[in-house]
Structure 1
């Protein structure tokens, strides 16, 4: 890693001076990218949960194939709202996969295995309880340690606790929009290293770890990603997989990373979803991060997820 002499004085350090992560006041919250005209939805009902991210969809039965025009309008809603929610969808794992496949080829997660031999390898099951607690309560985007991180994910809750177990998503386009101009200039062309080992090495024997490190070596992704379909700039670092910034001295890069990580914590960029049995979330992994709240033990929370293969960030 090369060293440079850039000073940290080029960007704000509010935690050091004011012991808070953000300034009060109005935030720039654009739901749509610049130049995109807002249009009504005519083939289903949409209920926004916040002004910029997250909407519930009503009037669709995901157990049945979607007509072409419905899929096209749903894709527009997916891009504009970043995460879509569906309730009362009593679908099978096969129907879950069929819906996910509408949006592209599905990935097989290298570290989460199917719950049984009968289950499709593209389905990941999260069965969380007091003995097998969740570890997803950290802000992250899925599998950014891959050269081609996931485009999107479809998560279905099968069993929910009586209270708790919510999931939050953060709009990383809004997070980028509200960065100070000095920060935007600093990170515009920077890249960061993404690595699976901070999150998954503890699950592996030493020989397995070596094998996976050969299969999934560390990868560089831009800190500022351009969304391939909307053209919007988004902040593309997360504490689960992003380990350091290329070209910056270690302490400077770490301080900058921690500052960027904290942008997902700002409530104005977030939507929080209260799960019910047979609820589904369908989110754009290129535009968001998410956080699964682990506050429901000893109750059970069981979910299944399918993820759509994405492209190389640029």
Structure 2
């Protein structure tokens, strides 16, 4: 006799909140679909992640760059978005000289300066907590945010103090099609006040808010060198999406902010004495892990002036 199978058990209804981060395969493209990777001839590249982050071996940042070396490093920067250099015995002047190969340097009126107005000095330790532990893109409150930044650690804590970067082109590529349709062509407002109000004094913010009024940038910018579409909103400085009511804008921004948290889009770097990082601010967000107190962590950053996003 044929065996009678039990009736299929009916599952109870299941629903998760719409939006957010979904599980499953992701499209992990390091390059624009029309670009092709080529071998590097002047240094060795050691990838640290699938789409973002590579150590560069065989370059001395204390020596002037030849035009050919500068161009090959720029190609690596566009491909890997953040470059790491180990065992670099350089000072602040050499750091600035290296960064100037990509353009003039910015100053930042909100942050302490090092031995030059172009150097931002982050000195953190007991009694001086870090405030950079939020995913962000630097100075998007400017009409022309920075092209990139060069960071070196002057004092490395015995443990902790890593920095993470996220590839925001990969983040855009993996958004659902309906979300991409909602944000393509839209603009968002960026303002320094939300980011700096966490630690800057009221008088400084009030004095500078007329000098730096809120600005609008595309929610999705096109990288000026690679042509890739890149998600360009961040939790530190983006306040709302133009043309949407507050509730709808907040819901959509929460969804977009969450994309930087996906590990497949990230690289994490553990600092050692002599380490230097150089990242493309047009293509990434970053996060400084605040887990080293009461130990001291001292870093110096120079930022390269950028262009107006489109």
After TM superposition, the score normalised by the length of structure 1 is 0.92
Please give the secondary structure, in 2, of the residue aligned with 1:215: coil
Q: Spell out structure 1 runs of 4+ moving beyond 4 A.
A: 202-207
Offset at 1:207? 4.7
Matched-pair contact (CA < 8 Å) for 2:131–2:199: no
- Find 2:157's aligned residue among 153, 158, 161: 161
Please give the secondary structure, in 2, of the residue aligned with 1:158: strand
Structure 1 residue 262 and structure 2 residue 258: aligned? yes
List gaps (5 residues or longer) in structure 2.
Answer: 1-14
Please give the secondary structure, in 1, of the residue aligned with 2:279: strand
Offset at 1:234? 0.2
Deviations 1:31-73 (A, max 9, x none): 0111111100111011000111000000011100011111111
Offset at 1:211? 2.7
Aligned residue for 2:93?
A: 94
Structure 1 residue 215 and structure 2 residue 214: aligned? no
List gaps (5 residues or longer) in structure 1.
Answer: 1-15
Give distance in 1, aligned partners of 2:43 and 2:204. 47
Aligned residue for 1:85?
A: 84
- Find 1:177's aligned residue among 163, 173, 176: 173
Structure 1 residue 248 and structure 2 residue 244: aligned? yes
Give distance in 2, aligned partners of 1:299 and 1:113. 20
Give distance in 1, aligned partners of 2:75 and 2:125. 36
Structure 1 residue 282 and structure 2 residue 282: aligned? no
Matched-pair contact (CA < 8 Å) for 2:19–2:255: no
Give distance in 2, aligned partners of 1:201 and 1:137. 14
1:1-314 equivalences under 5 Å are: 17=16, 21-115=20-114, 119-201=115-197, 203=199, 206-314=202-310
Per the alignment, do residues 89 and 192 of structure 1 end up closer, same or farther by CA in structure 2, a change over 3 Å counting? same
Question: Larger Cα Rg: Structure 1 or Structure 2?
Answer: 2
Please give the secondary structure, in 1, of the residue aligned with 2:102: coil
Give distance in 2, aligned partners of 1:208 and 1:18. 41
Moved more, 19-28 or 268-277: 19-28
Matched-pair contact (CA < 8 Å) for 2:143–2:215: yes
Give distance in 2, aligned partners of 1:204 and 1:54. 31
Give distance in 2, aligned partners of 1:297 and 1:164. 9
Deviations 1:67-110 (A, max 9, x none): 11111111000000000000000101000000010110000011
Give distance in 1, aligned partners of 2:98 and 2:116. 14
